[in-house]
C-alpha cells in the first residue's frame, strides 16, 4: 500500500561522504515522508526518535488529522459534520468499512449489534471476583481479553469475519462496561434490550434499577452519540499504535484491543478525562482559586500539569474540544441544570490560559478531555468510568486499524530498533568474586 504513494521526488542523504537517494512518500492530503525502510541495509544507520515524535509507522486510509489547521476527518468526512448528523453506530460502520452505510447496511449492522449484546453467562461470574475497588479500566481490559476464550471461532479468518467480529466486540464492550458499573454499585445487572438503540441501551443498562426505572432522554442519547463519535478515532495515538503493534504479532482482535484499553488507561492519554474532573472538583472544593493551579502548571520546578491542555499533534485548537464545549451548554440545559460551577471554572481557566504566554508559546490548547467530563458527569456517569466511556468510543477506530494492519500486504511484525548505550562486553564474574556497586 505504501509503495503506491511513492512520489517523483527524492531525498538525498550524505553520510560519511557518500550520497544516498531515498524515496519520498506523499499522502493524499499532501503529507510527506522520507522512506527509510532500506536505510540500515544500505548505510548501517538506523534513525532514532524517542516517543515517535516524527516517525510514521504505517500508511493509513482511516483518519486524516492536521494539528496545525485543526482538521480531523474520518474516512474523508469532517468530524463536525459526522457529530452533527450521524449516530455512533453509523460512524463505527464508516470507520470499520470505509464508507457510510446505506439504510439497509445500517439496519443489518444494528441487527448484529442487538444480536450480540449479551455476554456468555459464565463470564458474568468473573465480575464477582474483582475487588469492589478494582479500577473499571482494569476490569474492562480483563473481560475483553477473556472474550477470545468464549468466542474462539472469531480467530479464524478475520478478513471474512470482520463484520461479525466488529459487531460482537462493539456490542459486548458496552454490556461489559455497564455490568462492571452495576457490580461496583452492588446493584442487580440490567440486561441489554433489543428494542433500544446502541446509546439508549447502554444508558438503560447503567441507570435502570428495579425500584427506579430509567427514562431514556433523547437529549442525553444525542449527547452520548456525539461524545462517542468525537472519540471514535484519532490515527496513530498511543492506544491505537498499541493495538497495531500487538496485533502485528498476529494476535487475535480481542487481545490486541485489550492491550489498547490498557494503554488508554494512562493519565497522559485517555485517563486525562477523569483527571480533569478531579482537578476541577479539587479547585472548586478548595475555594475556586484556579490561578494557583495555572501558576503551578507553569512552574518548571513543579511536575503538576494542567490536565486537559496540550496535545502531541494539535498545535492549534483541538476541533473535538470546540464541539464538546458547545455541546455542554445544550446538554446541561436539556437536563434542566441552569449552572454548573465546574463548567464555570473550566471556562475561566480556558480564557486565562489562551492569553497566557506560557501556554500560547507552547501551543497548549484545551484538548478533547477538558470538557467531556462535564457532560459525562451531568449524564450521571461517575468519574472513574470516564476512561471506560472513552474506550467505548475509541473501539471502532481500534478495530479499523487492527483490520487495516491485518490486511496490509506490507505487514511486518512491529519491531523498533534501538541504540545500545550500556556497558561494552565484559568478562563474567563468579558470584563469590562480585563486589557491591554504589547505586
Ligand atoms: N500543563 C502545563 N505545561 C504543559 C502541559 C500542561 N498540560 N502540557 C505540556 N506542557 C509543557 C511541557 O512542560 C513542556 O514545557 P517545556 O518545553 O518548558 O519543557 C511543553 O509544554 C511541551 O510538552 P511535552 O510534554 O513535551 O509535550 P508532549 O507532546 O510530549 O505531551 C501531552 C503531550 C502528554 C498531552 C501533554 O500536553 C500533557 O501532559 N497534557 C496534560 C495531560 C492531558 O491532558 N492528556 C490528554 C491528551 S489528549 C488524549 O490523549 C486523548
How confident is residue 154, by pLDDT bands cut at 50, 70 and 90? low
Q: CA angle 110-397-125, nearest 5°?
A: 65
- List alpha helices for 98-157, DSSP H: 103-115, 121-128, 136-150
The set of cell numbers assigned to 21 is 537517494
CA 64 to chain centre: 15
User: Could you read off the pLDDT of 275-332 as tens digits, one per residue?
Assistant: 999 999 999 999 999 999 999 999 999 999 999 999 988 988 899 998 998 888 888 8
Pocket test for ligand 1, best of 310, 318, 391 (most atoms within 8 A of CB): 310
46 lines ligand 1 (CB under 6 A): no
397 lines ligand 1 (CB under 6 A): no
Interval between CA 305 and ligand 1 midpoint (Å): 7
> Ligand 1, atom 22: nearest CA belongs to which residue?
362
Which sequence positions are flagged as catalytic? 311, 369
> Ligand 1, atom 10: nearest CA belongs to which residue?
310
297 lines ligand 1 (CB under 6 A): yes
The pLDDT value recorded for residue 439 is 67
Question: What number of CA atoms fall less than 13 Å from residue 21's CA on the CB side?
Answer: 3
Mean pLDDT of the chain: 93
Non-local (6+) Cβ contacts of 338 within 8 A are: 332
Measured distance CA(222)–CA(225) in Å, rounded: 5
pLDDT over 90 at 354, yes or no: yes
312 lines ligand 1 (CB under 6 A): yes
* Averaged pLDDT for residues 135-150: 93
How confident is residue 437, by pLDDT bands cut at 50, 70 and 90? confident
Q: For the range 96-105, what are the long-range contacts, defined as Cβ-Cβ under 8 Å and sequence gap of 24 or more?
A: 96/162, 96/163, 96/166, 96/396, 96/399, 96/400, 96/403, 98/61, 99/75
Helix (H) or strand (E) holding 274: helix 272-285
Query: By percentage, how much of the chain surpasses pLDDT 70?
Result: 99
Look up residue 314 and give its DSSP letter. Answer: -
Residue the block writes with cell 446502541: 198
How confident is residue 28, by pLDDT bands cut at 50, 70 and 90? very high
User: What DSSP line would sit under 341-405, residue for residue?
Assistant: HHHHHHHHHHHHHTT-HHHHHTT--B-THHHHHHHHHHHT--GGGHHHHHHHHHHHHHHHHHHHH
In ligand 1, the atom with minimum distance to the C-alpha of 312 is 29
pLDDT over 70 at 23, yes or no: yes
155 and 132 in contact (C-beta within 8 Å)? no
364 lines ligand 1 (CB under 6 A): yes
What strands lie across the sheet with 32-34, from one edge to the other?
6-15, 18-26, 32-34
381 lines ligand 1 (CB under 6 A): no
Among the listed residues 255, 274, 237, the one whose alpha carbon sits nearest the alpha carbon of residue 389: 274
The set of cell numbers assigned to 418 is 534501538
Amino acid at each position: 500500500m505504501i509503495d503506491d504513494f511513492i512520489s517523483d521526488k527524492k531525498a538525498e542523504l550524505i553520510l560519511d561522504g557518500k550520497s544516498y537517494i531515498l524515496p519520498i512518500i506523499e499522502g493524499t492530503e499532501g503529507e510527506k515522508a522520507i522512506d527509510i525502510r532500506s536505510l540500515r541495509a544500505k548505510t548501517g544507520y538506523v534513525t532514532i526518535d524517542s516517543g515517535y515524535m516524527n516517525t510514521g509507522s504505517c500508511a493509513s486510509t482511516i483518519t486524516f488529522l492536521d494539528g496545525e489547521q485543526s482538521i480531523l476527518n474520518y474516512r474523508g468526512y469532517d468530524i463536525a459534520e459526522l457529530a452533527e448528523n450521524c449516530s455512533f453506530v453509523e460512524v463505527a460502520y464508516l470507520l470499520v468499512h470505509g464508507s457510510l452505510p446505506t439504510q439497509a447496511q445500517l439496519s443489518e449492522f444494528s441487527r448484529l449489534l442487538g444480536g450480540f449484546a449479551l455476554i456468555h453467562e459464565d463470564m458474568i461470574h468473573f465480575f464477582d471476583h474483582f475487588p469492589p475497588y478494582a479500577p473499571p479500566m482494569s476490569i474492562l481490559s480483563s473481560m475483553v481479553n477473556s472474550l477470545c476464550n468464549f468466542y474462539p471461532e472469531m480467530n479464524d479468518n478475520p478478513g471474512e469475519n470482520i463484520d461479525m467480529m466488529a459487531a460482537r466486540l462493539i456490542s459486548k464492550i458496552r454490556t461489559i462496561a455497564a455490568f462492571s458499573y452495576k457490580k461496583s454499585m452492588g446493584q442487580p445487572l440490567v440486561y441489554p434490550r433489543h428494542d433500544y438503540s446502541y446509546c439508549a441501551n447502554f444508558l438503560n443498562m447503567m441507570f435502570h434499577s428495579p425500584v427506579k426505572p430509567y427514562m431514556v432522554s433523547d437529549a442525553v442519547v444525542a449527547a452520548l452519540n456525539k461524545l462517542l463519535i468525537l472519540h471514535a478515532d484519532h490515527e496513530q495515538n498511543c492506544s491505537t499504535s498499541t493495538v497495531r503493534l500487538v496485533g502485528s504479532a498476529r494476535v487475535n482482535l480481542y487481545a490486541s484491543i485489550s492491550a489498547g484499553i490498557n494503554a488508554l488507561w494512562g493519565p497522559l492519554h485517555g485517563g486525562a478525562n477523569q483527571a480533569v474532573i478531579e482537578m476541577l472538583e479539587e479547585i472548586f472544593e478548595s475555594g475556586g482559586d484556579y490561578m494557583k493551579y495555572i501558576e503551578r502548571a507553569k512552574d518548571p520546578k513543579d511536575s503538576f500539569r494542567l490536565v486537559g491542555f496540550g496535545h502531541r499533534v494539535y498545535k492549534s485548537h483541538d476541533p473535538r474540544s470546540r464541539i464538546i464545549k458547545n455541546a455542554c451548554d445544550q446538554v446541561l440545559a436539556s437536563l434542566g441544570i441552569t449552572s454548573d460551577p465546574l463548567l464555570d471554572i473550566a471556562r475561566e481557566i480556558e480564557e486565562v490560559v489562551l492569553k497566557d504566554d506560557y501556554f500560547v508559546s507552547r501551543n497548549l490548547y484545551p484538548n478533547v478531555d477538558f470538557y467531556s467530563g462535564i457532560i459525562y458527569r451531568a449524564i450521571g456517569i461517575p468519574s472513574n468510568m470516564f476512561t471506560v466511556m472513552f474506550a467505548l468510543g475509541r473501539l471502532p477506530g481500534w478495530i479499523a486499524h487492527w483490520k487495516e494492519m491485518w490486511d496490509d500486504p506490507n505487514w511486518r511484525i512491529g519491531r523498533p530498533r534501538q541504540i545500545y548505550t550500556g556497558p561494552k562486553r565484559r568478562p563474567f564474574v563468579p558470584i563469590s568474586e562480585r563486589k557491591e556497586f554504589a547505586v
